[in-house]
A and B are shown apart, each in its own frame.
Chain A
Amino acid sequence: MLARRIIPCLDVKDGRVVKGIHFQNLRDAGDPVELGARYSDDGADELVFLDITATLRRRKTIVELVRKVAENVFIPFTVGGGITSVEQMDELLRCGAEKCSVNTAAVQNPDILTKAAQRFGNQCVVLAIDARRSKTKADHWQVTVKAGTEATDIDAVEWAAEGAKSGAGEILLTSMDADGTQQGYDIELTRAVADAVTIPVIASGGAGTLEHLYDAIVKGRAEAVLMASITHFENYTINQMKQYLRDRGIAVNL
């Protein structure tokens, strides 16, 4: 049986790991390569690096980052942030990333998912969705793009299903409402998306306690849980998370 995955997420801005609340008020959390290697040693199942540098230099810094991480980290890692073409994905995969995540580019042109899946296999293609609870419709979530700065009319659950059909191998699902709050994942959102697709869903946004991880997996049906604040600021170690989940009957890689 597949172990449920514990995935620390490293948001990288100008070469440093940062973490905010609702994508804002960023705090420094360290060097990405060092932090990545530490999580790998500590038993993380996977890492996600999202480059949130909002400048034209990003493309170059992201490649350098991936190269350095790949020399020091021997667990899978996903890289995302501003990827707009299959060629860019190819470069990042060749530098050592296991998967690439796309968000805005896929919304603008879903064909990128299909092309990437045909070229790399769909297990390399992660569709990142930043979702915000609709203010007008109960239990509906809107897709936002451009690092959460731009709302769309797209329904997050429908978009996840369409993305999976187009070629995504995994959904990285972030609740913008819960992001950075440490008040728990948006379980309804996670569950709605997990029920709508057959590919793995990574729950993201809101992890604050060990119970939150358990709930995302059991109630939200997430295959993996992603966290940032609770691990960067050392509330819990990866090992503590895994032991807790194992004691509650969840298969983990321990």
Chain B
Amino acid sequence: MLIVIDYNVGNVKSVCNAFRHIGCDAELSRDHKKIEAASALVLPGVAAFGFAVNALGDLGSFIKDLALAGKPLLGICVGYQMLFDTSCEFGSYKGLGLVSGNVVDIPPGRVVPHMGWNKVTLPKDMALFEGIEAQKHFYFAHSFYADVTDTAAKIAYTDYGFKLPASIQKGNIYGTQFHPEKSSNQGLQVLRNFAQIAGERSA
């Protein structure tokens, strides 16, 4: 069973709907036992970083320990940003620190939020992108981005006037700045791939 972490932020439901649509067993929960027993965890999030970190509360360190012990974890959007060390959105906040890097402002000179469909160049060695063409559009909606400094992380980029990290993979830790649950068929394929990584069935 995949567990989608329920922590009182917007849009967790969409992620569950998308997994359900591809025939994958996913449940929304914040129950420690269920989270511990899960085949993999999804940390979604539509929220400002500070709100999300506060809403996650103690669950943060619990999830971090499970991820460090090898449980596959997929962070999406703010859930992805929380994988990093810090964020400067509306203040200064600490993330989970699973991947080295900081969440910072998108450089000036372009429209912010970075919102809409942008083309992502998909490296062949990133498991989330199995079976997807080398370049595909995905849906983004964010005003801050993760400046990834972790040399152990594989990174897929999109071009927004600079190389903006769109997705990372570091061992069993995965993340997408874009929203796979809102990225049409190619997004659903990313979720299928994560279900496969977790050993779950999907249609």
Contacts and interface: CB of A to CB of B under 8 A. Distances in A.
Is A bound to B? yes
Interface stretch (B35-43, B65-73, B111-119, B126-134): B111-119
Interface stretch (B44-52, B92-100, B166-174, B194-202): B44-52
A43 B185 CA distance: 10
A170 interface: yes
B19 to A, nearest CB: 11
Interface in A1-43: 1-5, 40, 43
Contacts of A198: 111-112
B137 A253 contact: yes
B48 A120 contact: yes
B32 interface: no
B117 A170 contact: no
A118 B50 CA distance: 9
A228 interface: no
Interface stretch (B10-18, B56-64, B146-154): B10-18
A46 B185 CA distance: 14
A12 B187 CA distance: 28
B26 to A, nearest CB: 13
B115 A123 contact: yes
Contact of B46 (A71, A93, A95): A93
A210 B135 CA distance: 27
Contact of A95 (B13, B51, B143, B181): B13
A45 B143 CA distance: 19
B46 A96 contact: no
A1 B182 contact: no
Nearest to B115: A123
B139 A76 contact: yes
A170 B115 contact: yes
Contact of B184 (A40, A117, A119, A223): A40
Nearest to B50: A118
A119 B8 CA distance: 11
Where chain B touches its partner, the secondary structure class is: mixed
B10 A94 contact: yes
A199 interface: yes
A43 B78 CA distance: 26
Contacts of B181: 74
Contact of A76 (B20, B118, B119, B179): B179
Nearest to B90: A118
Given A2-B114, A123-B141, A253-B117, A75 B46 contact: no
Nearest to B112: A198
A34 B51 CA distance: 35
A75 B139 contact: yes
Interface string A215-239: 0000000011000000000000000
A2 B142 CA distance: 13
A205 interface: no
Contacts of B89: 121
Nearest to A1: B159
B82 interface: no
Contact of A200 (B116, B142, B160, B184): B116
Contacts of A74: 17-18, 21, 181-185, 187-188
Contacts of B115: 2, 123, 169-170, 200
Given A3-B137, A70-B14, A123 B111 contact: no
Interface of B: 10-14, 17-18, 20-21, 46-48, 51, 78, 89-90, 111-119, 137, 139, 141-143, 159-160, 179, 181-185, 187-188
16 contacts: A2-B115, A2-B118, A40-B184, A43-B184, A74-B181, A76-B139, A93-B10, A94-B10, A94-B13, A98-B46, A120-B10, A120-B46, A120-B51, A121-B78, A121-B143, A124-B10
Given A45-B139, A118-B90, 15 more contacts: A3-B119, A5-B116, A45-B116, A71-B20, A74-B182, A76-B179, A76-B182, A98-B46, A118-B48, A120-B48, A120-B51, A121-B89, A123-B141, A198-B111, A223-B116
Which 10 A/B pairs are nearest by Cβ-Cβ distance? A93-B10, A253-B117, A253-B137, A123-B113, A123-B141, A3-B117, A96-B14, A76-B182, A121-B48, A2-B116
